[in-house]
Amino acid sequence: MREVAVVSFAQTPYVRRERGRSEVEMLLPVIGQAIERSGIPKSEIGFTCSGSSDYIAGQAFAFVSAVDALGAWPPISESHVEMDGAWALYEAWVKIQCGHADSALVFAFGRASMGTLPETLTMQLDPYTLQPLGVDAVSLAALQARALLDAGLCTERDMAEVAMRSRRDAKRNAFAQLKGDYEVAKILSEPHLISPLRKHDCPPISDGAAAVVIAAGDLARSKCRRPAWIRGIDHRIEPHQPGFRDLTVSPSTTLAAHKAGAASAPLDLAELHAPFTHQELILRRALALPAAVRINPSGGPLAANPMMAAGLVRIGEAAQRIHDRDAGRALAHATQGHCLQQNLVCVLEGE
Amino acid sequence: MAENCAVIGVGQTQHDSKRIDVSQVGLVREAALRALEDAELDWKDIDALVIGKAPDLFEGVMMPELFLADALGGAGKPMLRVHTAGSVGGTTAIVAASLVQAGVHERVLTVAYEKQSESNAMWALSIQLPFQQGVVAGAGGYFAPLIRAYIRRANAPEDTGIRVALKDRLNALKNPYAHLKFPGITFEQVAQSPMLWDPIRYLETCPSSDGACAMVLGNAKAAKRAPHKSAWVHATAMRTEPTQFAGRDQVNPRAGKDCAKELYAKAGITRPRQDIDCAEIYVPFSWFEPMWMENLGFAPEHEGWKMTYEGATALGGDMPVNMSGGVLSSNPIGASGMLRFAEAANQVRGLAGEHQVEGTRRALGHAYGGGSQYFSMWIVGDQPL
């Protein structure tokens, strides 16, 4: 396998509603910054791949307009996944492994304010058996949290502590949307939103975009003082029907982490794409993370959750901490689908 | 490139305007099972899935691969979903091939589909957003002015499009999976069919289809064990150009020319018309055959229509194009690109049935999408490159 590293990362501030800018206008500065920070001239970037969803944008071919943020002239080698941008990064990594490119720009965007997100996500369910039930994304997450509580694998206090820690850590993240000091006791005194989830257990609805540049071997070394090397990357999917799965565990995360070699050396931190508090608890167990591993120093998706970009942001945040010598070895995780259906694990390391 | 990649199994559904006999699940399984059967493999032999389709608004399900993965044996495996407009079927195959070429997986199942009867594609494409150029009345309304520009530039005889449509519709009669079949169709019938978007007549237009296509791609080891002949991927390429850019030539897009140039260079092709035995290309409206003949370098600029006119692109011509009947005969949009790639593969495998071009050793699969901003192509051969 070729050595490939994340060499730069850029993101927008995340907001509940981006009023003034279209998706292309959100992307332009972010893509510009990621390319500039990479030190690789735009014309020399060998491949471009993005992640987005037409249903989030409310438009067929939303990614076609996004190309207008690339200045794709002369025409470029480019692809798109209807997935979180973390999977766009995976496709770009494969492209570099093939030797078809030595570097790639990866970006993702989501402007959930264009619709009513929990209901939009209902459209992501099996149209024959689940969509007609009208169950929304938060309700399904609540079912999962209930299963976890009933199994005695966590308490509502554990969940509140995840919320408290995430929003406290987000105070140091200039891009985060939801941040501040909250008391666990106070969180627990609040009413349930959809039992057993309280508002604090849920992610904010965010508009935002992110971009990453990855590069192979010597190119990465020559452009980046401390490249964040991708030591392993893998992703796995589970059955879609909630009834086909044990919702209290995440075997796809465990398998992806195993394939990515996560356990081969100690980790300093993990950026977990757990939109709901109880999902972080499931992931920590699935990844067998020791207590010493810092979880989501950025605040994670509970501080900002731009649909289709939040997974890529986890990789970007983990890489950034390696670039800054704040971490030596980090794990980044991305998820999509209801109740952690599909999961990606990327292990990053400084030299 | 770490590994050679080969097409070791191909399957497609019966294409029709409304496949009410199957759900989306049934549709993708029909193609996938045929591809597995062709490769004499089972679900458990597959390492990863790559699924492609055009806009989710066509079926009204957001990211439908999340629920389809179950039925495609996806549980516990990696699954990717590609979407690059009309070129997506081709790009999906290219992504799947890259997983094998990179040495990440030994055998990958790739499936592309569209079940257009679930909605109305023309209106799903016509959502008007502020400050964006509208597609007006579907793709036909978008492409007709480009065709008129081509006719004027090339001074092409006005019946060129009719000749393309007649040829493709006659070819479709040899394809058991084709959606539209008009036994005994004549030049006059095409010429007298209603004008939809001048100069595109009804019978010069692609249908709206339900259908799916699947391929099993494998490395050299997998190909060695395959029961049938393999098609070896010699080269792949894709190109994108921006929508809102005054410097674009939408009639003869630079993205298509650059894509072909890279493809030929990788495959060691210097004289495309001589070096390639047949081509299956994305022609949703008849006139795109001569336009793409020029864009792909098979004919000099302004002379693509001569190939059609002289019968070069007919089965039995020196450069057969769209042997299967093409997009004009079956158009499940998300699968249309992969059907082109799969036909190219079956031609070099010698498994194209009645529309086989004898002695094909190298074939081109081509797809484009959007307003001609997206291109993806591959060259397959009967031997590894």
pLDDT, greater one: B143 or B127: B143
| B66, B81, B374 member nearest A341 (Cβ) | B66
Across the interface, whether the CB atoms of A54 and B66 are under 8 A apart is answered no
Could you give the CA distance from residue B210 to residue B124 in angstroms, rounded to a whole number? 16
> CA B28, CA B13: separation in Å to the nearest integer?
8
- Both tokens of A287, joined, read 């990844």
Q: Taking phi first (over 0 means left), then psi (-120 to 50 degrees means alpha), and beta for anything else, what does residue A44 get?
A: alpha
Query: Is the confidence at residue B321, as pLDDT, over 70?
Result: yes
Cβ–Cβ gap B125/A60 under 8 Å: yes
> In A, which residues are within 8 Å of B242 by CB distance?
67-68, 70-73
Asked whether the beta carbons of residue B79 and residue A90 sit closer than 8 angstroms, the reply is: no
Question: So what's the pLDDT on residue B141?
Answer: 86
What is the pLDDT, as a whole number, of residue A132? 95
Number of other CB atoms surrounding residue A119 within 10 Å: 11
What average pLDDT is seen over chain A? 97
> Residue A140: CA atoms inside 13 Å, Cβ hemisphere, count?
25
CB pairs under 8 A between A and B: 184
Q: Give the burial string for B119-133 (b: 16+ CB within 10 Å, else e).
A: eebbebbbbeeeebe
Could you give the CA distance from residue A35 to residue B259 in angstroms, rounded to a whole number?
24
Answer whether residue B36 shows pLDDT above 80: yes
Give contacts of B90 with chain A, Cβ < 8 Å: none
Domain ranges of chain A: 4-115+205-227, 117-204+229-349
Say what the pLDDT of residue B350 is: 98
* ipTM confidence score: 0.97
Shared fold status for A4-115+205-227 and A117-204+229-349? yes
Q: Are A214 and A93 in contact (CB under 8 A)?
A: yes
**Could B75 and A63 be called an inter-chain contact, meaning their C-beta atoms sit closer than 8 Å?**
no
| Structure tokens given for B337 | 């690109």
Give the model's pLDDT for residue A64.
87
Which residue of B1, B65, B95 is in closest CB contact with A79? B95
In this prediction, residue A59 carries a pLDDT of 83
On whether the CB atoms of residues A242 and A339 are closer than 8 A, the answer is yes
For residue A124, pLDDT over 90 is answered with yes
- At residue B320, the pLDDT reads 98
Q: What are the phi and psi torsion angles at A227 (to 5°)?
A: -65, 150
pLDDT value of position B133:
63
pLDDT of residue B130: 64
Given a cut of 80, whether residue B124 has pLDDT beyond it is: no
* Closest chain B residue to A67, measured at CA: B242
pLDDT digit string, tens, across residues A320-341:
999 999 999 999 999 999 999 9
| Contacts with A48 from chain B: Cβ below 8 Å | 240
Looking at residue B164, its pLDDT comes to: 98
What is the reported pLDDT for A211? 98
Which pLDDT belongs to residue A281? 98
Contact A60 B99 (CB under 8 A): no
Sort B141 into a burial class: Cβ within 10 Å, 0-12 / 13-18 / 19+: middle
Look at A79 and B255 and tell me if their CB atoms are within 8 Å. no
Q: Where are the beta strands (DSSP E) in B265-347?
A: 278-280
Interface mutation vs chain B, best among A48, A61, A336, most B CBs within 10 Å:
A61
The pLDDT of residue B132 is 64
Query: The domain A4-115+205-227 is classified under which CATH number: 3.20.19.10, 3.40.50.150, 3.30.40.230, 3.40.47.10?
Result: 3.40.47.10
Q: Is residue B137 scored above 80 in pLDDT?
A: no
B88: nearest Cα among A334, A61, A212: A61
Percent of all residues in chain A with a pLDDT value above 90, rounded to a whole number? 95
Tell whether the model's pLDDT for residue B128 goes beyond 80. no
Interface test with A, best of B20, B29, B67 (most A CBs within 10 A): B67
Considering only CB atoms, which chain A residues are within 8 Å of B239? Answer: 75-78
Report CB contact under 8 Å: B85, A61: yes
Task: Determine the distance in angstroms separating the CA of B293 from the nearest CA of chain A, rounded to an integer.
Answer: 20
B23 to chain A: which residues are within 8 Å by CB? 128
The pLDDT, as a whole number, for residue B121 is 76
The predicted-structure confidence for B326-338, as pLDDT tens digits, reads as follows: 999 999 999 999 9
8 Å CB contact of B242 and A60: no
Average pLDDT over residues B44-48: 98
Task: Verify whether the Cβ–Cβ distance B98 to A22 is below 8 Å.
Answer: no
Q: Is the pLDDT of residue B136 over 80?
A: no
A69 contacts A24 by C-beta, under 8 angstroms: yes
Q: State yes or no: pLDDT of B233 exceeds 80.
A: yes
Kindly list the residues from chain A whose CB atom is less than 8 angstroms away from the CB atom of residue B374. Answer: 64
Average confidence score pLDDT of chain B: 95
| pLDDT tens-digit series, residues B66-111 | 999 999 999 999 999 999 989 999 999 999 999 999 999 999 999 9
- A chain contacts of residue B74, beta-carbon cutoff 8 Å: 237
Partnered with residue B9 across adjacent β-strands are: B216
**Distances from the Cα of B319 to the Cα of B280, B299, B322, angstroms:** 10, 11, 10
CA distance A146 to chain B (A): 23
Which listed CATH number (3.20.20.70, 2.40.30.10, 3.40.47.10, 3.90.1150.10) goes with A117-204+229-349?
Answer: 3.40.47.10
Interface touch B373/A65, C-beta < 8 Å: no
Mutation target among A67, A80, A82, A234 for the B interface, most CBs of B within 10 A: A82
Contacts for B140 with CB less than 8 Å, ≥ 6 apart: B196, B197, B200, B205, B285
The C-alpha of A276 sits at a distance from chain B's nearest C-alpha, in angstroms, of: 20
Mean pLDDT confidence for B284-308: 98
Interface with B, mutate which of A79, A125, A126, A341 (most B CBs under 10 A): A79
Global pTM? 0.98
Cis peptide upstream of residue A41 (ω within 30 degrees of 0):
no
What is the average pLDDT across B274-296? 98
Q: Taking a C-beta distance cutoff of 8 angstroms, is the pair B280, B344 a contact?
A: yes
A206, A179 in Cβ contact below 8 A? no
User: Is the model's pLDDT at B1 over the cut of 70?
Assistant: no
Percent of chain B whose pLDDT exceeds 90: 91
Q: Is B306 helix (H, G, I), strand (E, B) or coil?
A: helix
Asked if B55 lies within 8 A of A61 by C-beta distance, the reply is: yes
* Chain B residues lying within 8 Å of A4, measured CB to CB: none
B24 vs A contacts (CB less than 8 Å): 127
Task: Provide the 3-class DSSP secondary structure of residue A291.
Answer: coil
State the smallest CA–CA distance between residue A78 and chain B in angstroms.
6
Q: What is the pLDDT of residues B343-379, one digit of tens each?
A: 999 999 999 999 999 999 999 999 999 889 999 999 9
Q: Which residues make Cβ contacts (< 8 Å) with residue B278, sequence separation at least 6? A: B319, B320, B321, B323, B344, B347, B357, B360, B363, B364
- Which residues of chain B are within 8 Å of residue A97 when distances are taken between CB atoms? 2, 98, 102-104
DSSP A335: E
CB-CB neighbors (< 8 A) of A112 in chain B: none
Instruction: Over range B231-255, report the average pLDDT.
Output: 95
B76 to A241: CB separation less than 8 angstroms, yes or no: no
Query: Chain B closest CA to A255's CA: distance in Å?
Result: 8
- Calculate what percentage of chain A has a pLDDT beyond 70: 100
Residues of B in contact with A101 (CB under 8 A): none
- Of all residues in chain A, the one with the smallest CA distance to B78 is A236
